[in-house]
Structure 1
Amino acid sequence: MEKTTLSIISLESVTPGTRGAADEVAVCVVRCIEGTARLGMVFHRPRSAGDAGTATPQFTLTAIEWYGKQVEELDTVHSGKVTLTGSGSGSDMLAKWDVLNSAPGTVTA
């Protein structure tokens, strides 16, 4: 599977999960800067120097909105609103201009 890279343009909302219950959910506007983002793909935020000793946050792409329509993929150079879901993934650490890279060969159903 090809590498896909998303750049966060803005964060719309972040809903932290509760221990043992709900997943964390982040809704943000992104620009696909490499590859094609598809529903079910798993993305990670590369670690920074301040993240040493922590697990790499991972997010599953669970929704893509493009020009007001729900779609299954977002191509390179296009922007859209996406929903990223993860369990204890550190979505509260996401920020504008963060880059998310696809995890090679990882797609959830």
Structure 2
Amino acid sequence: MKWKEQASLSIESIESVTPGVTGAADDVAVCVVRCIEGVARLGMVFQYPGSAAGAATPWFLLTAIEWYGKQVEQLDTVHSGKVTLTGAGAETLAKRNVLNSTPRR
């Protein structure tokens, strides 16, 4: 299923970052976020535009959403939840970063 809608997530805190095995697996970051625009859905890809000049822009696949202790499929605007993001470069994420959705890779 494809969604044309956009979503933006503001990172409130980072609970954990698990580095992937070099060349074999992506990093996994568990963060508390607030959805500040649109509806964030499982399977959406998010980019963090704050990378250094000339560096590739890190991207993250939204693989899990927890809302009030339950696994859900989406996170609506103004709601906060715990999300799992998978992708290279998770160590670059920081509190107050805003991740914007992008077409799926």
Structure 2 length-normalised TM: 0.93
Partner of 1:59: 60
Cα distance between partner residues in 2 of 1:40 and 1:69: 17
Give the gaps of 5 or more residues in structure 1. none
Runs of 4+ off more than 6 Å: none
Q: Which amino acid aligns with 2:55?
A: T
Q: How does 1:24-103 map to 2 (within 5 A)?
A: 24-48=27-51, 51-86=52-87, 89-103=88-102
Cα distance between partner residues in 1 of 2:100 and 2:25: 24
Cα distance between partner residues in 2 of 1:19 and 1:101: 26
Q: Quote the sequence identity (%).
A: 73
- Number of residue pairs aligned between Structure 1 and Structure 2: 102
Q: CA RMSD in A?
A: 1.1
